[in-house]
Amino acid sequence: MQVSVLGCGRWGSFLAWYANKVGHNVILWGRSGSGNYNELYENRKNEYLTLPEEIHLTNSLDEAVNLSEIIIISISAQQLRSFTKQLSEIPAIQNKIIVLCMKGLEESSGKRLSQVVKEELGASTKVAVWLGPGHVQDYLQGIPNCMVIGSEDIEVTKTVVNTFNSDLIRFYYGQDMIGNEIGAATKNVVGIAAGMLDGLNLSSLKGALMARGTREISRLVRAVGGNDITIYGLSHLGDYEATLFSVNSHNRKFGEDFVKNQDFKKLAEGVATIKAMLQLSEQYDIELPICNALFQVIYEKKDASQTLVDLFLRPVKFEF
- Residues involved in catalysis: 187
Type of residue found at 316? V
Q: CB of 199 within 8 A of CB of 218?
A: no
Residues in the chain: 320
Q: CB of 190 within 8 A of CB of 290?
A: yes
Q: CB of 188 within 8 A of CB of 78?
A: no
Helix axes 177-199, 270-284, angle to 10 degrees: 120
171's enclosing H/E stretch is: strand 169-173
> Which sign, positive or negative, has the C-alpha torsion 240, 246, 251, 255?
positive
CA-to-CA distance for 164 and 27, rounded, in angstroms? 15
Helix, strand or coil, per DSSP, at residue 50:
strand
CA-to-CA distance for 114 and 242, rounded, in angstroms? 23
Sheet of 97-100, strand order? 56-58, 25-29, 2-6, 70-73, 97-100, 126-131, 145-151, 169-173
Q: CB of 155 within 8 A of CB of 215?
A: no
Q: What is the DSSP letter of 244?
A: I
Distances in Å between the alpha carbon of 214 and those of 203, 229, 240, 272?
17, 10, 10, 19
